[in-house]
Amino acid sequence: MAQDSSDPTLPSVVASLRGDYQERELILTIVFHPRTSRIGEFAVLALSNASGDNTIGRLAPSFQTANADPANVEGWPLGDPHVSKLALKASYSGPGLQLARYPDSSRCKVNGRELSDVVVLDREQLRTGVPILMGHGVVLLLREESRSTLRINRTRDDTALLGSSDYMNRLRGYISQIASSDLDVLIRGETGTGKELVATAIHSASIRGKAALVSVNMAAIPSSLAPAALFGSARGAYTGADKAGAGYFEQAEGGTLFLDEVGDTPTEIQAQLLRALQQREIQCVGGAIKQVDIRVISATDAPLEDETCDFKAALRHRLSGCEVFLLPLREHPEDIGELLCHFITQAALQAGKSELLPSETGDVKAIAFWAEVFHCFLMYSWPGNIRELANFAQQLVLAQGQGQVLPQPLQSAFWPEGGGKVMPERSACRKMQDIDDNEFVNSLEEARFELALAAKQMGVSRQAVYRRIDNTPDLRIASEVTLDELRVALAEHRGDLAATAWALRVSRVGLGTRLRNSTLTWH
């Protein structure tokens, strides 16, 4: 992302992770392989618009790891015995890239459909990513993307920021650069993109890494309690204050303060927060002014520049000594295989199912099942991003018993209309009366009841979604949740706002606003 030169107050360091300026190449990534250690390897298809073709099969092309030295690459072919030596031929032809299946070769699915002869893929499909299922046990992603020469080495034990895509490689590089400074950082991105993980990685790699990292959910702090929660309170400052209390700023002394959901900071507290950030001094409620030595990392999915947002521009600029924009999962689908493999392994260990994923010498049916699972995950659009993927992986693991089974909630998500393409494309201008109750409710659930996202998924206006909810007895918006009901739900979910919102079937963002405008407290 380029810095906006029209606004001289914008931060001087902006970390862009898109890489659109780079030359784009056709990349083939292994999303699933019977030898799961190979998930994430990639091959560059050396095609040109004028001429040239590539064979994709058991013996070609050669795949390399993301850590490989470009000047000394030793690659490995797929090597799966159930994939033909000559399976597909890729070549440019007229309007796009042509994939042709060799006669009598092993089965192949392209974009979720069995390929019998030839398919032509246009530029938009290639930029989005084309899933390919080869034989019964190999899943690939063909995508036009950029690959930089930057290499940030990592080991397979480094699970904090998984992914071998060029995007993730550059993200780890930016984190290393940002961590070496002591600038405040604003992390932007959709819900579920891993903002807290990035904040933790920056803190851990910084000179403050051995000190405290104090995390605060700004959406969950009622405005009446915000000053005491953030800046502390003196003894006797208010009724019941029988001793002094340290606020989050003091608790983070010498370390890092992470302000999550900072876009939902109560309007009444924004001026005090701005002063604390500018002067690095706080005044506790009923007490004296104190200096603090902290680094501030904040995160939000809110559109801070939007006219409808009441977030102060001066506060935004002060928070963003540098900004990091995280891409949604749909914009780096190459990483789905590695992420899913990690989440399945993690959930399986917790459930006592350590041998859940197959080995390359394992049962053929089991390999085929898991290949289909990874293929389904690759076809899905992930409105909830990495958090949703982790949740789906956990549901998948818990459903595995004597045989392999895809749990019903995942089937409903992957095939919302009972079959066909996993996520059917929807019209950008649909009429609400054309959407039946099942699709409406499923869309709300897919979007985790975030109404703007649900409206976008269905191709209708946000106002139409509000009207439909108002006319549906079993649905409601966050502002209609009673405080008593909210108090009970928060207690049941130990203050986890996201889990509370899901249980109440309302928007997490809306619920944060509900809390902010109330006097509700919890511990």
Residue 126, domain CATH: 2.60.200.20
* DSSP-derived secondary structure letter, 471: T
**Do 118 and 196 belong to one domain?**
no
Q: Is the dihedral of CA 156, 158, 162, 166 positive or negative?
A: negative
User: Has residue 278 been placed in a domain?
Assistant: yes
**What average pLDDT does this structure show over 246-257?**
92
Let me know: does 246 contact 232? Beta carbons within 8 Å: yes
Q: Examine the fold and report which residue of 290, 320, 350 is the final residue of a domain before the chain moves on.
A: 320
**Average pLDDT of the residues in 65-90:** 82
How confident is the prediction for the chain on average, in pLDDT? Answer: 82
196 in the same domain as 308: yes
What percent of the chain is predicted at pLDDT more than 90?
Answer: 41
What is the domain-level CATH number for residue 285?
Answer: 3.40.50.300
Give the per-residue pLDDT at 454. 81
168 within domain boundaries? no
pLDDT per position as a tens digit, 162-183: 998 989 989 999 999 999 999 9
How confident is the model over 188-202, as a mean pLDDT?
93
pTM: 0.74
In this prediction, residue 427 has a pLDDT band, given cuts at 50, 70 and 90, of very low
Does residue 107 sit in the same domain as residue 234? no
Q: The domain containing residue 197 runs over which residues? A: 184-320
Q: Of 106-110, 355-359, 481-485, 512-516, which one has max mean pLDDT?
A: 106-110
Among the candidates 320, 341, 373, a domain finishes at 320
Does one domain contain both 200 and 132? no
Q: How many domains does the chain have?
A: 3
Q: pLDDT class for 187, splitting at 50, 70, 90?
A: very high
In the prediction, which pLDDT does 517 show?
Answer: 59
Give residue 322's pLDDT band: very low, low, confident or very high (50, 70, 90): very high
415 or 507, which is more confident: 507
Q: Is the model's pLDDT at 501 over the cut of 80? A: yes
Is residue 210 domain-shared with residue 275, that is, in the same domain? yes
Residue 168 CB-density burial (10 A; 0-12 exposed, 13-18 middle, 19+ buried)? buried
- Residues 29-74: tens digit of each pLDDT: 999 999 999 999 999 987 654 455 689 999 999 999 876 555 555 7
Smallest CA-to-CA distance from 449 within 468, 432, 430 is with 468
Residue-level pLDDT at 516: 64
pLDDT for the residue 259: 94
424/482 Cα distance (integer angstroms): 37
Residue type at 83 in one-letter notation: V
Is 326 among the domain residues? no
Same domain, 239 and 316: yes
